[in-house]
Amino acid sequence: MRADQKAFLVTGASTGIGRAIADRLVAQGHYVFASVRKQADADALNAAFGENGQAVLFDVSDMAAIEAAALVIGDALNGRTLAGLVNNAGIALPGPALIQPLSEIEQVMNINFMGVVRCCRAFAPLLGADSARTGPKGRILNITSVSGKFGYPFTAAYVAAKHAVEGFSDSLRRELLLIGIDVIVVGPGAVKTPIWEKGAAAGGNKYKDTIWGKPLERLTQSLAAMDQEGLEVSVVANLVEEALTTAHPKTRYAPVPNKLVNWWLARFLPARMVDRVVGKSLSLLP
C-alpha cells in the first residue's frame, strides 16, 4: 500500500455490488481490503487487485473473525486511518412472515443487521475512533435498499433488517459527531444481481401448498425480473465511490430505477392505496 493511497474495507465483496464497489475503488487508485468467506474468492480477488488490494477472510456473523481481520488491517495501515468501511454483506431469504422458520429470520437479521453493528464496532478504531492513528477520519457507508423504506410482502425479515440498518445509521451518525466519523446510507432499488434468485433457491418450494404459495411465487418471479432489469452494479459502485470521497456527501443516496414509480409514488401515496395496488398485483386481493 502506497503512502498516498486511501484505504477502504468492503464487506461481501466476492460478487455483485460488493465486488463492483471494490473494483471501482481500485480503478480510482485506492487500496481495498475486500472481505469474503471462501478462500477461492480471496485468491481471485488477490489476483485481480495485485498491489492495490487484498482479500480478508471473515463472516460478518463471526465477531472473533472480524476482530482478527481488524488486527490484520490495522497492521497493514501502519498507524494511518482507514478511509472508509462499506458494509455491504447480506443475504435475502423470502418467505411468509407467519410461517417462515424463525431460524431463517434470525439468520437474515444476524447477517444483514448485526453484521453491520459488529463491523462498525470492530473497525471504528481504524476509522479514527483511536486518536493515535494519523490521517483524516474515515467514513462508514452502509448499503441498505429501497426495502429500508418500503415493505414488500414475503420479505419481512430482509425489510426489517434494512429498516434496522437505516435507523442504526441515523443514530450512529449523530453519536459519531463527537469523533468526526461520518455515516452514510446508500439504498438502491433493483440492481442486476442474483440475490433474490439465490434466496428463493435456498428456500426451495416449501410454501407451495400453503395459502401463500401462489402470491409468493408471483413475488419471487417479479423480484427475479427486477434484479435482471435493474441498475447495473457499476451505477451503484460509482455512487458509493463518490459518497466516500466527495467533500460534502449526502446522508442518504437512493439510486432507484424508474424512480417516480418505484420510489416517490410508494413514499407519498396513501399507505392503504399502496396496499391495494401491491395486493392485487400479487393475488393477495381479489
Under 8 Å between Cβ of 183 and 123: no
pLDDT at 101: 97
Phi, psi dihedrals of residue 10, rounded to the nearest 5°: -120, 120
The per-residue pLDDT for range 84-95, each reduced to its tens digit, is: 999 999 999 999
- The reported pTM is 0.94
pLDDT at 216: 92
Superfamily for the 7-281 domain? NAD(P)-binding Rossmann-like Domain (3.40.50.720)
From 31, 152, 158, 253, the catalytic residue: 158
Residue segments in the chain with a per-residue pLDDT below the cut of 70: 196-204, 227
Amino acid letter for position 139: R
For residue 158, indicate whether it is catalytic: yes
pLDDT at 199: 63
pLDDT at 204: 58
Every domain of the chain and the residues it spans: 7-281
Phi, psi dihedrals of residue 132, rounded to the nearest 5°: -75, -15
The span from the CA of 252 to the CA of 170, in Å, is 10
pLDDT at 229: 79
pLDDT at 266: 84
pLDDT at 1: 85
